[in-house]
Amino acid sequence: MFLKALKDKFKHKSGLKFLKEQFENPPDVVSRKNGITSIAIIVDLDQFDKAELFYQFVDDFKLRPNAVKIIGYKNYYDKNSPYATPVFSDKDLGWNGDIENSYALEFLSREYDMLVNYFNQENLMLQLMSIKTRARINVGFSEIDERYNDLILETSLSDFNTFKKELKKYLKVLGEINARCK
């Protein structure tokens, strides 16, 4: 028991070291053309449990049905319980910032036009997922370190409709979506 706690503490430290190194040596920029055709969403299910609302982006941005990929974080989850959204947790942390979860690895294997960091509290696992996801535009909340997001929205985590409205407004201004999107 003591050794496991010590091992977890060292894994956490190595994850923090990885984050620091990533900020000092940023990865290559994702080179995709303008326009939103694929969206990745990392959501803190402990704070916001309505992840299915993000599928509204398919209609709102006129995307293909499989263009929205969602992964959720839970502080603790039971692997035997069914979840509507693929889930990862603190116990999936490996050495040197690695994430040892098949859902997370599949999520990270793709490139996206936009990443939505739908969390507003500092959390190592959420930050690791965010920094490792390859996306052209990162969107998130002001409570998180600004280095994680290109577009920062000042809305409440619980007010999804306002978040969606503000996101669409700024994406139109940036020329990422056209005016005919709802």
In a domain, residue 180? The reply is: no
**CATH number of residue 130's parent domain:** 3.40.50
Whether residue 29 is predicted with pLDDT greater than 80 in this model: the reply is no
In a domain, residue 182? The reply is: no
Domain count, the chain: 1
Q: pTM of the predicted model, to two decimals?
A: 0.89
Q: Dump pLDDT digits (tens) for 104-153.
A: 999 999 999 999 999 999 999 999 999 999 999 999 999 998 889 999 99
Which residue range(s) make up the domain with 9?
Answer: 2-173
Q: Dump pLDDT digits (tens) for 64-105.
A: 989 999 999 998 877 766 778 899 999 999 999 999 999 999
Tokens of 129: 């997922």
The whole-chain average pLDDT of the chain stands at 89
In a domain, residue 178? The reply is: no
Percent of the chain with pLDDT over 90: 65
Q: What is the pLDDT of residue 2?
A: 74
Three-state secondary-structure class, residue 155: coil
